[in-house]
Amino acid sequence: MIFAVDVRAETPVNETELPDRVERAVRTIFPDADITWETGRLVAETHDLAHFSELLHEQEILDTARNAFEVDEEGFSFRLKKAAAFEGVVNFAVGSPGELGVIDVRVDVREPSVEQYIDHVIPSTEDGEPV
């Protein structure tokens, strides 16, 4: 199956942060992303969530990820805690953004359907095992 998605991750770079550490946080989750810098923000763009999917499988948090996604007709979005991402850990920001803030991620799905792509990245589970 062919997947056509646009992934955009954005995060502020606080005055107390080193820009290279912010970039490292984003790259640990999205290693192939193209990084650009805007005033006070880092913007990363990619077309692949394979590494993100691997991390979710390794951490065994597939159900958690599905619950953290805000799904609409064009795709889905979610927020990650920046400090956890720096350590290579996926930790969804629900409620409190954490002390360093969040990485806002938007995934626009052109092909296949949004639901099919989510199933590809994060399969449904039964008794904690992917089905």
> Which H/E stretch holds residue 27?
helix 19-29
User: What is the mean predicted confidence (pLDDT) over 85-94?
Assistant: 92
Average pLDDT, the chain: 91
Scanning the chain, the segments in alpha helix (DSSP H) are: 19-29, 50-59, 62-68, 82-86, 114-121
- pLDDT value of position 94: 80
Whether 128 has a pLDDT exceeding 90, the answer reads no
Question: Rounded to an integer, what distance in angstroms lies between the CA atom of residue 76 and that of residue 58?
Answer: 22
- pLDDT value of position 96: 65
- At residue 102's C-alpha, the angle toward residues 95 and 67, to 5°, is 50
Q: Identify whether 112 is preceded by a cis peptide bond (ω within 30 of 0).
A: yes
Which has more confidence, 15 or 51? 51
Question: Rounded to an integer, what distance in angstroms lies between the CA atom of residue 15 and that of residue 27?
Answer: 20
Looking at residue 94, its amino acid is V
The three-state secondary structure class of 34 is strand
User: What is the mean predicted confidence (pLDDT) over 23-49?
Assistant: 96
User: What is the mean predicted confidence (pLDDT) over 114-129?
Assistant: 85
Is CATH 3.10.420.10 what the domain over 8-105 is classified as, yes or no? no
- pLDDT value of position 61: 92
pTM as predicted: 0.92
Residue ranges covered by each domain of the chain: 8-105
Q: Which two tokens stand for residue 98?
A: 């954490």
Pair 39, 95: CB distance under 8 Å = no
User: pLDDT-derived band of residue 97, with 50, 70 and 90 as boundaries?
Assistant: low
pLDDT tens column, 37-78: 998 999 999 999 999 999 999 999 999 999 999 999 999 999
The label of the residue with tokens 């359907």 reads 113
> Which H/E stretch holds residue 121?
helix 114-121
